[in-house]
Amino acid sequence: MRGTIVFDLDGTLIDSAPDIHAASNALLVEDGLPELTFEQVKSFIGKGVPHLVTRVLEASGLDPAGPKHAEFVHRFEARYETAVGLTVTYPGVVPALEALAGAGFALGICTNKPVGPTRAVLDHLDLTRFFGAILGGDSLTVRKPDPAPLHATVAALGGSAERTLYVGDSEVDAETARRAALPFLIYTEGYRKTPVADLPHTAAFSDFADLPALVAHHTPPRP
């Protein structure tokens, strides 16, 4: 194996915000509440479903500490597995994954999205074939930015810390990589809110066509 590359999912490989926005608004409409804007819901993505629901309730003037929270999480999750129709891969993702797999890298997913909808959207976009390990926000008892899911993904791939890179789009991913002590490549076109320069990262890229060369640079061939 040439090395191990672990990817975040939402905002990194796939632009899933339109489906997450639509699913959130469907719940609000069911309850006779006003819809939220795309930018609002996009800014709530990255820390998993319970956090997203907290932010949706707050933005709707409802108490996130009240009974609505568990109810909304339940109803959101029920919709989430089929919420794939508006989601696309970012440009160049598939050729980049093909190049990396072809070069002998083991690839994995470490996302805060629950593993059910993660598998559903990967199947829908025909991406499952690339990944030897897929961990979601409910795979362990902790989620990112706790480093445990990232460590577990690397372990499931049989990788070693010295030859592993983590690729993500957000503040949560930068913090996860820092706490896991792994190099972090940041994709700049996802759902990040902080300037790239203010987040710890090894390298930044805006085009997946550049990723194979960037990865090669940071994981030199074994002597």
Active-site amino acid positions = 8
**Residue list 120-179, contact with ligand PGA (CB under 6 A):** 137, 170
Note whether 11 binds Mg ion by CB under 5 A.
yes
Answer for which of 5, 8, 44, 80 binds Mg ion (CB under 5 A) is 8
42 binds, among ligand PGA, Mg ion, none (CB under 5 to 8 A by kind): none
| Whether the Cβ atoms of residue 171 and residue 178 lie closer than 8 Å to each other | no
Distance from C-alpha of 186 to C-alpha of 212, rounded to nearest angstrom = 14
Q: Determine the distance from the C-alpha atom of residue 137 to the mean position of all C-alpha atoms in its chain, rounded to a whole number.
A: 9
Dist. CA 121–CA 125, nearest whole Å: 6
**Residue in 113, 163, 192, 201 binding ligand PGA, rule: CB under 6 A:** 113
- Residue 220's nearest CA partner among 103, 95, 87 is 103
Q: Which residues on neighbouring strands pair with residue 184, listed in sequence order?
A: 166
Residue 8 marked ligand-binding: yes
In the bound state with ligand PGA, the residue whose beta carbon lies nearer, of 43 and 202, is 43
Q: Is 123 annotated as a binding residue?
A: no
Kindly tell me which of 26 and 216 has the beta carbon lying closer to ligand PGA. Answer: 26
- Per DSSP bridges, beta strands 3-7 and 14-15 are unpaired
The token pair at 35 is 């819809």
Helix (H, G, I), strand (E, B) or coil at 173: helix
Per CB under 6 A, does 111 bind ligand PGA?
yes
User: Which residues lie near ligand PGA (CB under 6 A)?
Assistant: 8-11, 45-48, 52, 111-113, 137, 170
Binding residues for Mg(2+): 8, 10, 169
Residues that bind Mg ion (CB under 5 A): 8, 10-11, 169-170
